[in-house]
Chain A
Amino acid sequence: MEFQYTIWIVALPLLAFLINGLGSGKLPGKISGWIATIAIGISTFLSYQTAFQYFSSPSRDKIIAFKTTWLRFNDTLHIDLGVLLDPISVMMLVVITTISLMVFLYSQGYMKNEKGYDRYFAFLSLFSFSMLGLVVATNLFQMYMFWELVGVSSYLLIGFYYDKSSAVAASKKAFIVTRFADLGFLIGILMVSFYTGTFDFEILTNPDNLSFSTTASFLGLSTITWALLLIFMGGAGKSAMFPLHIWLPDAMEGPTPVSALIHAATMVVAGVFLVARLFPLYHAFAPTALEVVAFVGAFTTLFAALIACTQYDIKRVLAFSTMSQIGYMMLALGVSGYGGEEGLGYTASLFHLFTHAFFKALLFLGAGAIIHAVHSNDIREMGGLRKYQPITHLLFLIACLAIAGIPPFSGFFSKDEILAATFATHPIYFGIAVAVAGLTAFYMFRLYFIVFWGKEKTYDHTPHEAPTIMLLPMIVLAVGSVLTGFIPFGHFISSDGQSLDLHINWSVAITSVAIAFAGIVVAWKFYKTESDSSDKVARSFGSVYTSALNKFYIDEIYILITKGIVFRLIAQPLAWFDRNIIDAFMNLLAAITNWISSQIKEFQSGQVQKYAFIFISGVLIIVLSFIYATQ
């Protein structure tokens, strides 16, 4: 079987980026959008072809479709660039290209009247290229490279409206927070590669072949555990896990299709993908690290869901919902075992990643359509939109049902597997997960009811339905949100490559559906018609509500640390120290030299007789000392 063409899946968006980037401002009309869309369209087609070809064979081995050495460090370590095909990378290829294509199409409508249309599509293509390169990485370092590129394209796209200071600040924040996380990732890579002597996934994901030359421990944990924890830190940064999540809500400053593509469906799940990619390593060598993954996932999912219930910005609600759902995926990975039924969590996690991409992208694109119509992000300024945007309304409802986990929509199936995976072994996590399922249903339908039902607001001009080019991708995604749940996912992806039959755990399913319905009903009660009942309830929660509204003050803590401590207490004193101590010391040396010379210049008085006196005295002293010495 030949897979060499897969290189084009990655290369085509790069090509589109180069054309659009270099021709920015010179390309006629809206051609750049079509260049990018066609490039990603071909990539999508090739990805489907790859998936079909790969999954139709029974083997689930890793295939290296292409590989070239890019940089050599020493005899054993080198960075390769290549294409690695295995079940998860093929699955990710499909997800990324599909969502990308939909977003590209949608963007042609959404961005039609924006300045910097070429630039937008150039950056979007750059993102697709980087993300595709990330998932097909053959080794950790390639992954890191594309990981950084993804971060930069995200930075560029969040800061797309660069003359808006909030967008600039948000892009900066996103980049720096993820950069900080990547620091951990990098150190983790260096440590792993030092002990294993390789970056290659083929070797790293085969723990039987690995032996660690050291059992050194640090603070009670073995070095390899530390290394994997640090790698997870990178993943947590990109996937907006607590406490590195603060950039994600702000990242909503970017254009909405960007949020759909990058900050909902693809880039933010890179962390999940990373842990899944190294899962055998985690499982074999660092079970402690996996426990941390599970804990962080569980905490974030609850934490974000609580905040989502209180936010009023439509995109921020969705952002926190994204965090919460990714927390789910991390949780599932963290509690998973290896092989057979034990590995259910692994499959469930990636299953949820797959379905989530569809319905979350749909939610964001729907939100985009709403914002496009209303020109506001604040849901308090929306209401009764179902009359003006019937199709958007329907599609949004599908997505809400999917994310709430109502059968037969896709979210139900994947969420059910996650719950089932936690159910047997981790009752506390199961409890959290079920609670979050209820919260999810509640905040999604809170949003839905406020926006589409509620009291009609006065709009500057009548909201209109989105144009076809925007609706079409949404319809495709809606179909995906409905149908993807029925894919026998376990046959394609499992922790050990063996086919795994997924079946619905009915007791779990009934609980979760019941709780989801409860959430929906509560939301319906509170928000179907505008009333102050919700405010009363909110007030009764008191400080909990206020802190959730303020995102539990995490942002403030960060500002305190960065501005207050790092900037004011470290960097500024350092700069002062440099100018006033070190540099002043150098100046002092110069001043001392100057002073000494000004002191001794007095000898040079210009008085001939003084010179003569000194000269003669000198001669006399020398002569006398010679005479004395010779005696």
Chain B
Amino acid sequence: MNILISHIAVPVLTTLALMFASTQKQVRTIAAGGMTIQLIQSLVLLYLFLQERAGGNDAVVLFKQSFAWYPSLGISFDLGVDGIAVAMILLTSIVIFTGIFASWEVDKLYKEFFISLIVLAAGVYGFFVSLDLFVLFLFFELAVIPMYLLIGIWGSGPKEYAAMKLTLMLMGGSALLVVGILGVYFTSDVEGVRTFNILVLGQHHIPIEMQRIFFPMLFIGFGVIGALFPFHTWSPDGHSSAPTAVSMLHAGVLMKLGGYGCLKVAMFLLPEAAQEMSWIFLILTGISVIYGALATVVQTDLKYINAYSSVSHCGLVLFAILMLNKTASTGAVLQMISHGLMTALFFALIGMLYSRTKTRIITEMGGLMKVLPFLSVCYVIGGLASLGLPGLSGFVAEMTIFVGAFEHEDLFHRVATIVAVSSIVVTAVYILRVVGLLLMGPVRNEGYYNFPKAKWFEKIATVSLIVGILVIGLTPLWLSDMIRDSLGTIVDKLVLK
């Protein structure tokens, strides 16, 4: 069987198996088992991909497969991955794997919880392997909808409000996407039967007037889920109400659908408009980056801190994509992966801390380093990765973006870049603020000494994420080369002015 199909099949089969499980133990075992298989096969996929590439296979996408679905409209289920998709799939596998362990102790409607979670993951995998815009959009929706249930049922705080807000805003984005996708479908000058296939569409030209209309739609449509300013406000509310694993998956993977979509759909299919309009969105993303960071500085709720910092980091992804060159785009993909890993780590840790302290307000906590050394050290590592310490993944991503952004010589790009670069100082400020208030200082409360130490499943979750961060941080060359090679087809269309 094609390894890409099995990437969708394993989650689907896992959900089917979950339906017949009854006890919490069975449910957890099945979910963990299924996602372990998924993680392993993602690693196999990476290995096979690198093998193929090393063997000289330089097709745009590998492991291609196509099933006709609705031929008269040109819809078919086309699968295939390039280096970017492989990297994103691996990221998804790591995050969902750790997410299962992070939600080990969910005891309310646990069966339904894991089913929704894995369905969501299946949607994400489908999104990354699809080459057909229609199917891609279908999977996109499949990933967004379970989110409503997951937040609305298992969330905390004003969960119905948050779930509604998040879903509605993402649906608003989807509406733009539908129009944009149909616009691309109808205006490209493909002969014969029209097609939704991205690669085929990419070889055809769309009139510039049409591009001007549809580019903003597609970019904003994907930008909403990528937390583009000013459409980011679902993120703080949504993330803070969502249960741990959902926050992890959402910030870690779902927000990346935005950047991925912008790069591989909006920029790839509508290159001329992308060039013309990049400045508008550069301003918006530049604002995202610095604004998100500054807004983080004054937050006191851990989840809000992480949500706003995600706005800043994901803003950097879109910012880099808009630089329209290979280096910056490589950095964008690296940043997606790096941010995915570290934000998942943060949300996992926040969940674990919350289960002990019963509060997420940092000013009400303190001195956790002494009572929970393992989790605290993990938090510090995540924080250091987030502020771009060399040797951890954040540094690699950010530096690639900055070097790429500096390839533009004009004043506008320079200023935008310098504004974005200065966010690293603000990042340091809020990370150290959290570390200082939360982990250091005297132990706040005598009761803290009774906290249970980190449990085995918590250790699995955090350690696997940290390993990911370290691997990318220490040996980034293979990953960055893999991504760069895949970017050729996209970026070559965006010829520099």
A and B touch in the complex (CB under 8 A): yes
Q: Chain A: residues with CB nearer than 8 A to chain B? A: 25, 69-74, 77, 79, 141, 144-146, 148-149, 152, 155, 159, 162-163, 165, 168-169, 171-172, 175-176, 179-180, 183, 186-187, 190-191, 193-194, 214, 566-567, 570-572, 574-575, 578, 582-583, 585-587, 590
Give the shortest distance, in Å, between A233 (CB) and chain B (any CB): 12
A152 and B407 within 8 A (CB): no
Chain A contacts for B378, CB-based, 8 A: none
Q: Which of A77, A148, A176, A583 contacts B390 (CB 8 A)?
A: A148
Stretch at the interface among B75-83, B102-110, B184-192, B435-443: B435-443
Q: Judge whether B395 and A148 touch: CB under 8 Å.
A: yes
Pick the residue among B233, B234, B404, B436 that contacts A578 (CB under 8 A): B233
Q: Is the CB of A71 within 8 A of B421?
A: no
Contact B230 A148 (CB under 8 A): no
Instruction: List chain A residues, Cβ under 8 A from B421.
Output: 183, 186-187, 190
Which residues from chain A contact B389 at a C-beta distance below 8 Å? Answer: 148-149, 152
Query: Scoring B residues 271 to 288 as 1 if CB is less than 8 Å from chain A, else 0, what string do you get?
Result: 000000000000000000
Interface residues of B in 217-234 (CB under 8 A from A): 230, 233-234
B411 and chain A: residue at smallest CB distance = A218
Partner of A168, one of B384, B403, B441: B441
Rounded to whole Å, the gap between the CB of A253 and the closest CB of chain B is: 12
Min distance, Cβ A115 to any Cβ of chain B, angstroms: 10
Query: Quick one: which of B403-423 are within 8 Å of A by CB?
Result: 403-404, 406-407, 409, 417-418, 421-422
Query: Which residues of the other chain, B, contact A191 by a CB distance below 8 angstroms?
Result: 406
- B213: interface (CB < 8 Å): no
How many angstroms between the C-alpha atoms of A487 and B294 in the bound complex?
A: 52
The chain B residue with its CB closest to the CB of A562 is B429
Neighbour of B395 across the interface among A74, A145, A163, A586, CB < 8 A: A145
What string of 1s and 0s marks CB contacts (under 8 Å) between B454-497 and chain A? 00000000000000000000001100110010000000000000
**Minimum distance in angstroms from B253 CB to a CB of chain A:** 23
Indicate if B425 sits at the interface (CB-CB under 8 A): yes
Please tell me if the beta carbons of B298 and A163 are within 8 angstroms of each other in the complex: no
* Neighbouring B residues of A74 by C-beta, 8 Å: 326-327, 403-404, 407
Chain B residues with CB under 8 Å of A566's CB are: 297
CB <8 Å contact, A186 and B425 = no
**B428 adjacent to A162 (CB under 8 Å):** no
Check B295 against A578 for contact (C-beta < 8 Å).
Answer: yes
Which residue in chain A gives the minimum CB-CB distance to B400?
A73
Known interface pairs A73-B403, A194-B407, A586-B165. Does A163 touch B425 (Cβ–Cβ under 8 Å)?
no
In the bound complex, do residue A163 and residue B233 qualify as a contact, i.e. CB atoms below 8 Å apart? Answer: no
Q: Which of A187, A193, A571 is the one whose CB lies under 8 Å from B295?
A: A571
Chain A CB within 8 A of B125 CB: no
Q: Is the CB of A141 within 8 A of B291?
A: no
Complex A-B: 18 CB contacts under 8 Å: A25-B373, A70-B476, A72-B480, A73-B330, A73-B404, A74-B404, A149-B389, A152-B384, A175-B432, A187-B418, A190-B421, A193-B403, A566-B297, A571-B295, A571-B298, A582-B230, A586-B169, A586-B233
Q: Are B402 and A190 in contact (CB under 8 A)?
A: yes
Q: Tell me whether B396 is interfacial, beta carbon within 8 Å.
A: yes
Q: Which residue of B lies closest to A159 (CB)?
A: B440
Does B369 sit within 8 A of A, measured CB to CB? yes
CA–CA, A587 and B436, complex, Å: 34
Q: Are B233 and A583 in contact (CB under 8 A)?
A: yes
Q: A77 to B404: give the CA distance in the assembly, Å.
A: 10
Chain B residues within CB distance 8 Å of chain A: 165, 168-169, 230, 233-234, 237, 291, 294-295, 297-299, 326-327, 330, 367, 369-370, 373, 384, 387-391, 395-396, 399-400, 402-404, 406-407, 409, 417-418, 421-422, 424-425, 428-429, 432-433, 436, 439-443, 476-477, 480-481, 484
Residues of chain B contacted by A583 (CB below 8 angstroms): 233, 237
A-side contacts of B433, CB under 8 Å: 172
Whether B441 contacts A183 by the Cβ 8 Å rule is: no
How far, in angstroms, from A148 to B480 measured CA to CA in the complex?
Answer: 21
Q: Known interface pairs A159-B440, A176-B432, A193-B403. Does A571 touch B294 (Cβ–Cβ under 8 Å)?
A: yes
Q: B441 to A162, Cβ gap below 8 A?
A: yes
Complex Cα–Cα for A179 and B387 (A) = 10
Contact of B370 among A155, A159, A163, A571 (CB under 8 A): A163
**Is chain A's binding surface mostly helix, strand, loop or mixed?**
helix
Q: How far is the CB of A247 from chain B (nearest CB, A)?
A: 12
Q: Which 3 A-B pairs have the closest CB atoms?
A: A145-B390, A583-B233, A162-B440
Given contacts A190-B403, A571-B298, whether A71 and B477 have CB atoms under 8 Å apart is: yes
- In the complex, given contacts A71-B477, A71-B480, what are 13 additional A-B residue pairs having Cβ atoms less than 8 angstroms apart? A70-B476, A73-B400, A74-B403, A77-B327, A141-B399, A148-B388, A149-B391, A169-B436, A186-B421, A190-B406, A578-B233, A582-B230, A590-B168
> Cβ of A187: which chain B residues have Cβ within 8 Å of it?
418, 421
> In terms of DSSP, what is the predominant structure of the interface of chain B?
helix
Contacts of B169 in A (CB 8 A): 586
Once the chains bind, are B295 and A163 in contact (CB under 8 Å)? no
- Give chain A residues whose Cβ lies under 8 Å from the Cβ of B404: 73-74
Instruction: Please measure, in the bound complex, the distance between the C-alpha atom of A469 and the C-alpha atom of B381, giving whole angstroms.
Output: 34
Contact B439 A575 (CB under 8 A): no
Chain A residue at minimal CB-CB distance from B231: A586
Inter-subunit contact A574/B291 (CB<8 Å):
yes
Complex: A191 Cα to B421 Cα, angstroms: 13
Q: Once the chains bind, are B298 and A575 in contact (CB under 8 Å)? A: yes
Q: Which residue of B lies closest to A181 (CB)?
A: B425
B191 CB, min distance to chain A CBs, angstroms:
37
| Given A570-B294, A575-B299, also A163-B390 (CB < 8 A) | no
Choose among B369, B421, B429 the residue with the greatest number of A CB atoms under 10 Å from its CB. Answer: B429
> In the complex the two chains form, is B390's CB within 8 Å of A572's CB?
no
Given contacts A69-B477, A74-B327, A571-B298, contact A163 B441 (CB under 8 A): yes
Q: How far is the CB of B106 from chain A (nearest CB, A)?
A: 29
Interface pair B436/A572, CB less than 8 Å apart: no
Q: Pick the most buried of A73, A77, A155: most chain B CB atoms within 10 A of its CB.
A: A73
Min CB distance A231 to B, Å, is: 14
- In the complex, chain B residues whose CB is within 8 Å of the CB of A162: 369, 439-441
**A149 contacts B390, CB within 8 Å?**
yes
User: CB distance B406 to A567 under 8 Å?
Assistant: no
- Measured between beta carbons, the chain B residues less than 8 angstroms from A148 are 388-390, 395
Given contacts A70-B476, A146-B390, A176-B432, contact A572 B400 (CB under 8 A): no
B189 to chain A, nearest CB (A): 33
Nearest-Cβ distance from residue A597 to partner chain B, whole angstroms: 14
- CB-CB under 8 A from A578, the residues of chain B are 233, 291, 295
CA distance A585 to B229 in the complex (A): 13
Cα separation A175 to B298 with both chains bound (whole Å): 19
The distance from the CB of B50 to the nearest CB of chain A, in whole angstroms, is 16
- Cα(A145)–Cα(B403), bound, Å: 14
Residues of B contacting A77 in the complex (Cβ-Cβ under 8 angstroms):
327, 403
Q: How far is the CA of A73 from the CA of B476 in the complex (A)?
A: 11
Q: Are B297 and A571 in contact (CB under 8 A)?
A: yes
Q: Determine if A172 and B390 form an interchain contact, defined as CB atoms under 8 angstroms apart.
A: no
Residues of A within 8 A of B168 (CB): 590
A183 x B424 contact (CB < 8 A): yes
Scoring A144, A186, A191, A566 by chain B CB atoms within 10 A of each residue's CB, the highest score goes to: A186
Residues of chain A contacted by B402 (CB below 8 angstroms): 186, 190
Question: Is B476 a contact of A194 with CB atoms below 8 Å?
Answer: no
A179–B396 alpha-carbon span in the complex (Å): 17
User: Do residues B396 and A71 form an inter-chain contact, with CB atoms below 8 A?
Assistant: yes
A570 to B409, CA, bound (A): 30
What is the chain A residue whose CB lies nearest that of B369? A162
Q: Known: A73-B404, A149-B391. Is A175-B428 also a contact (CB below 8 A)?
A: yes
**Chain B residues whose CB sits within 8 angstroms of the CB of A175 once the complex forms:** 428, 432
Q: How many Å lie between the Cα of A388 and that of B463 in the bound state?
A: 51
Residues of B within 8 A of A72 (CB): 477, 480-481, 484
Bound-state Cα–Cα, A135 to B431, Å? 28
In whole Å, how far is A430's beta carbon from the nearest beta carbon of chain B?
37
Contact of A165 with B442 at beta-carbon distance under 8 Å, contacts A70-B476, A70-B477 already known: yes
Which A residues touch B480, using CB under 8 A? Answer: 71-72
Give bound CA distance, A253 to B360, whole Å: 30
